[in-house]
Structure 1
Amino acid sequence: MINIAIVDDHEMFIEGLVLVLSQVDNFNVVATFSSGDEFLSSIESLTIDIVLMDINMTGKSGIETTKICKVKKPEVRIIAVTMFVEDSYYMQMINAGAHGFILKKAGKFELTQAINEVYKGGNYFSQEILKKMAFKAISKKEDDPDQLSSREVEVLQLICKGMSTKEISERLFLSTKTVEVHRSNILKKTNQKNVAQLVIWALKHNYCSL
């Protein structure tokens, strides 16, 4: 069972989301919150795996709420939910600790896929959002990374497909520890802080495609 919390300041959206999620057998909506402050005040008593977090909320933003949530409960995985494709918030949300992005207009299938992928330890990005981040976001010029080995390229490409460490180890017949070492080395060589940033970097440098 995947325990889910929803943080959004639009009541009608929350009601619709709860209705959709209740139709999926292994999803359990534990609680809903209309603000970041309300969510954070209850976080210690919650048993949750996934948080669907609105980015733009009155009061504390989804970015601020995500940062604090990851400090208080680092094991909780967060999927950012947004109405618009807005470039300016995405990297901030990634840096705050989000594991995925999905648009509010997404259908039940995509929402289910996003939650399952992130729950398994992977990442999920709406294709529309990925295109925005990869090709239109303004970023500083990056130095060329140290040469990636052929094995690291294989691991990187599977990471870009949203695979978890366990799934990559099974695909490449490697131990999970070896995959984690490769993942760590790739992050160091590319100078990226987390897997979400790494996916964007890989798209920009043609290691994977949409």
Structure 2
Amino acid sequence: MHKIIILDDHTLFRIGVIAILKNESSFEVESEHQNFDSLRPLIPSLSSHVILVDISLPKESGLEVVKYIKNVNPKLKVIILSSHKEEFYLVNALDAGADGYIHKDAEPEELIKGIKKVVKGEKFYSLEISSLLINSMYNRPQKGMLYLTNKEKQVIQFLQDGYSSKEIADKLDVSPRTIETHRANILNKFGLKNTTELIKKIVEQKINF
């Protein structure tokens, strides 16, 4: 019997996932949690097989939750559930130690298949996510997948603080044109149109750099 824990702040989504998992005789939903506060104290002693973690939680980033779980109890398997298809989230989920990444549009059969594979020690990514991963590696074989550079992270932090491109350029001792290039690259990586959308996403998703 595979024991499963669900961490997601949307009640209806949890109910739906539980209903799907109950159709599989080898699965047992051990508990469900709306936020990480109630789950955190249990992590060190948990013997569950898989924890399904929403990437967007009320108080913290699901990516940070994955890192915490893997640091405290590495034997636990963690699958990210996400409505995000951007490469940034996938790359950072892998870095955090996630054992799988399943898009919330995935079919029930795909969720069940993913859990079974992860329990066996394999990695699993839902169909759309797998395509993204393959395309990413194929398009940039010399560098691997697309990460934010240290300079891009600096630029984002300055943008969050309200600095203009010229002010950031002065602080980093580069030309304003260079900062504009960084901004364009950052927006492209996130799949966004402007800096306002970028800052909003960072705040909403509690992304740390």
Equivalent residue number for residue 119 of structure 1: 119
What does residue 10 of structure 2 align with?
A: 10
After TM superposition, list the pairs within 5 Å mapping 1:145-164 onto structure 2: none
Relative to structure 1, the CA distance from residue 6 to residue 79 in structure 2 (aligned partners, 3 Å threshold; closer, same or farther) is same
C-alpha displacement of 1:139: 6.6
C-alpha separation in 2, matches of 1:29 and 1:46: 13
Q: Which has the larger radius of gyration?
A: 2
Question: For 2:80, what is the secondary structure of its paired residue?
Answer: strand
Aligned counterparts, 1:18-37, within 5 A: 18-37=18-37
Q: Which structure 1 segments of 5+ residues have no match?
A: 144-210
Deviations 1:65-109 (Å, cap 9, x if unpaired)? 000101111001111111231221111111111111111122221
Q: CA deviation at 1:134?
A: 3.1
TM-score by length of 1: 0.63
Letter in 2 for 1:66: V
- Superposed CA offset, 1:44-74 (max 9, x none): 3432110111111121111000001011110
Q: Which residue of 2 aligns with 1:142?
A: 143
Percent of paired sites with the same residue: 30
Matching residue of 2:60: 60
> Over aligned residues, Cα RMSD in angstroms?
2.0
Counterpart in 2 of 1:192? none
**Structure 2: how far apart are the matches of 1:99 and 1:22?**
22
Moved more, 104-113 or 69-78: 104-113
**8 Å Cα contact 1:85/1:129 also seen in 2:** yes
Gaps of 5+ in 2: 145-209
- Take 1:142 and 1:21, find their aligned partners in 2: how far apart are those partners? 38
**Correspondence 1:45-194 to 2 at 5 A:** 45-136=45-136, 141-142=142-143
One-letter amino acid of the structure 1 residue matched with residue 37 of structure 2:
D
Q: Distance in 2 between matches of 1:36 and 1:64?
A: 11
**Deviation, structure 1 residue 127:** 2.0
- Give the structure-2-normalised TM-score: 0.63
Which residue identity is paired with 2:95? N
What amino acid maps onto 2:143 in structure 1? E
